[in-house]
Amino acid sequence: MRRWLLPLGLIALLLGLWQIAVSTGAIANALSLEDFLVPSPVEIAESLWENRSLLAENAWVTLREMLLGILAALVVGVGMAVLMHRWQVVRDAAYPLIVASQTIPIVVISPILVVWFGYGITAKVVIVALICFFPITVNALDGLRSVDPETVKLMRSLDASRRQRFWRAEAPAALPSLFTGIKIAVVVAPIGAVFAEWSGSSSGLGHLIQSDTAYYQVARQFATVAVLSAIALTLIGLTALAERRVVTWR
């Protein structure tokens, strides 16, 4: 109860303060802005309702980019982690490269990828996957390596083959870490999706925010941000739920 009430109370308080600050004109005066550029929470809520079908349409586009991107990152990331865990030579060769790949800002690489893959969904999925791949790979590898060396000896003595050792000891031990990676990936996926849409697209929440800038549709921009944030929160919640269902021994 307290866990929910306290943050909700704080949100209500902040929204209330915002509403008062806008309706008295305090923010607009302080920033020397026209009133219509500073929407109040009530105006944003109205915009959210009026634009519900437009927002839903674009939300679906962005959600699909995020989910496919996370899925691709999961497949490639877990695959890489398993290969790097199994063969030291793969780890020695690939690990520095994987870390180095993260030094390239996504803002820089996404226009290039749009040139390569076009305005369609492919470029977005690739960009989201690129940004999600790192936390998943690194955490999955850490998880696989977290197995106690004594457990490995024990499994060998109990007639476990390499494959049985993996499925019965290493893979389950890696799950909590893998979920940590997925949670980080889910948090950064919207950033990837929005940058990807800014680099070139004709739909999606990122695209909507960008085109609304040209028309000073500030209320709708805030509404779009709210939707994007709600999507991310839902995905984080679902991941946590899945973790509780899968990792039952903690």
Partner 1 sequence: MRQDTRVNFQFGGSQTAAARRRKQDRSTGGVSLTAVGHSYGELRTLDAIDLEAAPHSVIGLVGPSGCGKSTLLEVICGLREPSAGVVSVEGAETAPERLERCAFMPQRDLLLPWYPAIDNAALALRNQGMKRAQARAAAAVLFERFGLAGFETARPGELSGGMRQRVAFLRTLIAGKPVLALDEPFASLDAITRGEMQEWLATALRTDPRTVVLVTHDVEEALYLCDRVAVMSSRPARVVAELSAPHPRAEDRDGAVTDPEFVAAREEALRALREGSR
Note the residues at the interface with partner 1 (CB under 8 A). Answer: 148, 150-151, 153-161, 164, 168-169, 172, 248-250
* Smallest distance, partner 1 to C-beta of residue 153, A: 5
CB closer to partner 1 out of 169 and 225:
169
| DSSP 8-state symbol, 120 | S
For residues 23 and 31, the answer to whether their CB atoms sit within 8 Å is no
* Smallest distance, partner 1 to C-beta of residue 39, A: 51
For residues 97 and 133, the answer to whether their CB atoms sit within 8 Å is no
- Residue of 180, 191, 181, 177 lying closest to 231 (CA atoms): 191
* Smallest distance, partner 1 to C-beta of residue 86, A: 19
CB closer to partner 1 out of 156 and 244:
156
* Smallest distance, partner 1 to C-beta of residue 150, A: 5
Q: How far apart are CA 241 and CA 248, in angstroms?
A: 11
Structure tokens at 210: 């960008």
CB closer to partner 1 out of 174 and 227:
174
Amino acid at 15: L
CB closer to partner 1 out of 2 and 163:
163
Q: How far apart are CA 25 and CA 35, in angstroms?
A: 7
CB closer to partner 1 out of 65 and 170:
170
Q: How far apart are CA 227 and CA 215, in angstroms?
A: 20
By three-state DSSP, how is residue 199 classified? coil
* Smallest distance, partner 1 to C-beta of residue 70, A: 25
